[in-house]
């Protein structure tokens, strides 16, 4: 039996040494020292020994068990340390590894133009005004001297929600809203989306953007309008830009004009962007019609004003060389990334 015990000891020592992790070690503990472990089984078999042998064998088993327990404890410490080191190594963060790129978006070309125009007019002392896109017909038309039989009010041209409520077809209603609530001097611009019942093609979209301008004060004249637009055109489109006025008609201005700018791509010689004309139509403008001032509670005998309005898409397309307006609304990142 002594030999059996010594064999158990030898084998167990070897196996403990070889154990590679805590699970293996624990299994060995069960195998040798557990309730049904090899050493325990030997103890149980002591009944068959001569009485004088029993204490000796008992002592030997106890001694071996104590030794093994110490070995198990040492090995456990060693393995725990090894596992900790492994974990630290595996979880090590390599700070030199390149990080995942987070892509930052950029402003839409339309937003870029709006911001640029805002900066120019803020620099000239203007304020930025805002108005609803779902607008009352009275602001979009009546107060702008556009009577019920005017063609712009046709069901073919404007999106109606009810007879009296519509999607604004221009930013001009903001003029009326501002004049009703603010006393002159008034100097505002109003950028925003407008809607018209147009079918989509390379130069038309049922939604597009305009920027409206309005100045009302004592002694405002057509000369102020021309000077203002000239400064604006030069700042926005380049110092060499020339501007010309053509007589036109708008219900809410009298006199009215359309303003063209010399082509800022070819400088006026004629190219694809200006379609060989040398000039690009830029905006509508004029002196605020006395009726409009009256409708909005401002005395036209005391005050005069000028107003203008232009499409943002047209400027963006000319400035960035975009040939198809649809690109501006498709929101394809491959397109938008270029600006």
Which stretches of the chain bind ligand DAH, using CB under 6 A?
170, 172, 212, 250, 253, 284-286, 307-309
Minimal distance, residue 334 CB to ligand DAH, in Å: 32
**Is the preceding peptide bond at 255 cis, omega within 30 degrees of 0?**
yes
- Characterize the bridge pairing of strands 279-288 and 165-167: unpaired
Question: Cis link prior to 271 (omega < 30° from 0)?
Answer: no
CB of 145 to ligand DAH, least distance (A): 11
Q: Which is nearer to ligand DAH, 47 or 151 (CB)?
A: 151
- Hunting for tokens 């600006």 — which residue is that? 339
Residue 136 structure tokens: 């009352």
Instruction: Tell me the closest approach of the beta carbon of residue 250 to ligand DAH, in angstroms.
Output: 4
CB of 276 to ligand DAH, least distance (A): 24
Q: Which is nearer to ligand DAH, 8 or 225 (CB)?
A: 225
Q: Which is nearer to ligand DAH, 39 or 307 (CB)?
A: 307
The alpha-helical segments, DSSP class H, found in the chain are 2-18, 22-33, 38-44, 53-90, 109-122, 137-140, 173-181, 222-237, 290-295, 312-320, 327-330, 333-336
Considering the complex, state which of residue 71 and residue 138 has its C-beta at the smaller distance from ligand DAH.
Answer: 138
Nearer to ligand DAH, 241 or 253 (CB): 253
Q: How far apart are CA 12 and CA 4, in angstroms?
A: 12
Nearer of residues 66 and 157 to ligand DAH, judged by Cβ = 157
Classify 250 as helix, strand or coil.
Answer: strand
SS3 of residue 311 by DSSP: strand
Cβ 307 to ligand DAH, closest distance in Å? 3
Shortest reach from residue 94's CB to ligand DAH, in Å: 59
Name the residue among 222, 228, 209, 226 with its Cα closest to residue 126: 228
């Amino acid at each position: 039996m002594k030999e059996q015990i010594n064999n158990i000891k030898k084998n167990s020592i070897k196996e403990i040494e070889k154990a590679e992790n805590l699970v293996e070690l624990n299994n060995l503990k069960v195998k040798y020292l557990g309730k049904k472990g090899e050493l325990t089984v030997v103890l149980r078999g002591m009944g068959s020994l001569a009485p004088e042998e029993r204490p000796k064998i008992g002592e030997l088993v106890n001694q071996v068990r104590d030794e093994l327990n110490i070995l198990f404890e040492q090995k456990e410490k060693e393995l725990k340390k090894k596992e900790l080191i492994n974990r630290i190594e595996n979880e090590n963060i390599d700070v030199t590894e390149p990080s995942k790129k987070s892509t930052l978006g950029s402003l839409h070309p339309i937003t870029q133009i709006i911001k640029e125009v805002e900066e120019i007019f803020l620099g000239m002392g203007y304020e930025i005004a805002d108005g609803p896109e779902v607008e009352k017909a009275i602001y979009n038309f009546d107060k702008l001297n556009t009577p019920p039989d005017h063609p712009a009010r046709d069901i073919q041209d404007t999106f109606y929600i009810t007879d009296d409520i519509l999607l604004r077809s221009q930013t001009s209603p903001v003029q009326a809203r501002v004049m009703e609530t603010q006393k002159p001097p008034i100097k505002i611009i109003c950028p925003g989306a407008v809607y018209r019942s147009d079918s989509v093609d390379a130069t038309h979209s049922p939604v597009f953007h305009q920027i409206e301008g309005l100045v009302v004060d004592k002694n405002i004249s057509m000369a102020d309008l021309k000077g203002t637009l000239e400064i604006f055109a030069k700042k926005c489109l380049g110092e060499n830009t020339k501007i010309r006025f053509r007589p036109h008609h708008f219900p809410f201005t009298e006199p009215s004009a359309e303003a063209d700018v010399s082509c800022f791509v070819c400088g006026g010689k004629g190219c694809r962007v200006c379609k060989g004309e040398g000039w690009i139509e830029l905006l509508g403008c004029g002196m605020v019609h006395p009726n409009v001032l009256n409708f909005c509670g401002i005395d036209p005998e005391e005050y005069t004003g000028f107003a203008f309005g232009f499409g943002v898409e047209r400027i963006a397309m000319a400035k960035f060389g975009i040939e198809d307006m649809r690109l501006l609304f498709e929101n394809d990142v491959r397109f938008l990334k270029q600006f």
